[in-house]
Amino acid sequence: MRFETLAIHRGQEPDESTGAVTVPVYQTSTYQQDGVGKPRGFEYSRTGNPTRAALETALAALEGGRHGLAFSSGVAASCAVLETLKAGDHVVAGDDLYGGTYRIFEKVYAKWGLKTTYVAADDPGAFRRAIQANTRLLWLETPTNPLLRVADVRAVARVAAEARVPLAVDNTFASPYFQRPLELGASIVVHSTTKYLAGHSDVIGGAVVTSDRRIWEAVKFHQNAAGAVPGPWDCWLVLRGLKTLAVRMREHESNALHLARRLLKHPKVAAVHYPGLPGDKGHRTAKRQMSGFGGMISVELAGGPKAVHRFFSRMRLFILAESLGGVESLVCYPPAMTHGSLPREERLRRGIKDDLVRLSVGLENKQDLWDDLKQALGG
């Protein structure tokens, strides 16, 4: 079965006892057992829940993986992967990361003796050079946040294979509709399902997908032992979102391409970062490993802090908010919002300038979106 079909049917067969076409919300904490030591498949909802199981099956299918695990947030999913490591281990990570992921590495795990080296995500050689005897994991995001740089997943997966360590890819920005890292050689996919997968800005969730049984068992152990599991309602919302992922992603991309082309020609815009533009640095790699370029754009405004302030104060349709991947268009200011936890020097070193704005292009009418950007830019 192909993607659109899997998204609607895999893990979501009609309910056996009632015939309900939609997977029910199994709002229960525990399950009757037929006898001591004879559960019917579920024992306790931290360990497993039928609504969550449906979501985990669907997510694995969409990523082309064998095993899926759902979490209460994207950061909880990331933590569960890092929990497979131990004190003294070393991670090499791409440097243009979600701010919260950087915070996990530096403020949560560093004090437990996990060391992370950051390298340019779009330079596979830099990953190789940063590997040490104690390196146990490579980690990257692509397209990156907020600069939309493109990492060559196949090339970094080869580096990981040579070093005999797993590569984890945060696939939140592309979604499995446009990019499937496991098929490109990665061992682990991480998601914030809060974004495109759920797609309606109404739930927080995360996921890990892998085909490696040992990794799955280790992450699953942590999921149950530490318990950052999503409730059944949240799983249900993500499942509902998944069904329309394909149609939504096609339209997100079409709208983003429309805006990126126009922004590129606008005199008040200094630079546009969108891998779908032929002149973009990551375009060739993106074309090789993705089937589309997604709905995220970042833009450097011309005219300094005043222009940035004016742009945000004039915006009418785009909503100023963190997050991305919902049906409504959002705009954010990474230096103060998503990447506010990075020191300014660190931000600038990574190319996140003070005049950078990030757009999550939604599903509104293209012309309405452009009209709003145009009037906010002034001209």
In the complex, least distance from residue 74 CB atom to ligand PLP, rounded to whole angstroms: 2
In the complex, least distance from residue 15 CB atom to ligand PLP, rounded to whole angstroms: 28
Our answer to whether residue 170 is catalytic in this structure is yes
Q: Which is nearer to ligand PLP, 324 or 363 (CB)?
A: 324
In the complex, least distance from residue 101 CB atom to ligand PLP, rounded to whole angstroms: 6
Our answer to whether residue 98 is catalytic in this structure is yes
What residues contact 31, with CB distance under 8 A and at least 6 apart? 39, 40, 41, 42, 43, 44
How far apart CA 128 and CA 125 sit, in angstroms, is 5
Catalytic residue among 10, 15, 46, 240: 46
Q: Which is nearer to ligand PLP, 76 or 277 (CB)?
A: 76
Catalytic residue among 26, 98, 109, 274: 98
Please compute, for residue 142, the number of CA atoms within 13 A of its CA located in the half-sphere on the CB side. 35
Q: Which is nearer to ligand PLP, 196 or 216 (CB)?
A: 196
How far apart CA 141 and CA 117 sit, in angstroms, is 15
What secondary structure, in 3-state letters, does 79-107 show? HHHHCCCCCCCEEEEECCCCHHHHHHHHH
Q: Which is nearer to ligand PLP, 173 or 318 (CB)?
A: 173
How far apart CA 109 and CA 180 sit, in angstroms, is 28
What residues contact 306, with CB distance under 8 A and at least 6 apart? none
* DSSP code per residue over 295-329: SEEEEEESSHHHHHHHHHHH-SSSEE-S---SSS-
In the complex, least distance from residue 371 CB atom to ligand PLP, rounded to whole angstroms: 27
> Can you give the binding site for ligand PLP, defined by CB under 6 A?
73-75, 98, 100-101, 141, 145, 170, 172-173, 192, 194-195, 204, 206
Our answer to whether residue 202 is catalytic in this structure is no
Which residue number places its CB atom closest to ligand PLP? Answer: 74
Please name the amino acid found at residue 110: A
Q: Which is nearer to ligand PLP, 139 or 318 (CB)?
A: 139
Residue 108 is given by DSSP the state: I
- Please name which of 108, 134, 339, 159 lies closest in space to residue 117, comparing C-alpha atoms: 134
Report the greatest alpha carbon distance in the chain: 73
Q: Which is nearer to ligand PLP, 53 or 148 (CB)?
A: 148
In the complex, least distance from residue 19 CB atom to ligand PLP, rounded to whole angstroms: 34
In the complex, least distance from residue 10 CB atom to ligand PLP, rounded to whole angstroms: 23
Catalytic residue among 95, 170, 234, 280: 170
Our answer to whether residue 248 is catalytic in this structure is no
Catalytic residue among 195, 248, 347, 358: 195
Exposed/middle/buried for 364, CB within 10 Å: 0-12, 13-18, 19+? middle
Indicate which residues carry an active-site annotation.
46, 98, 170, 195
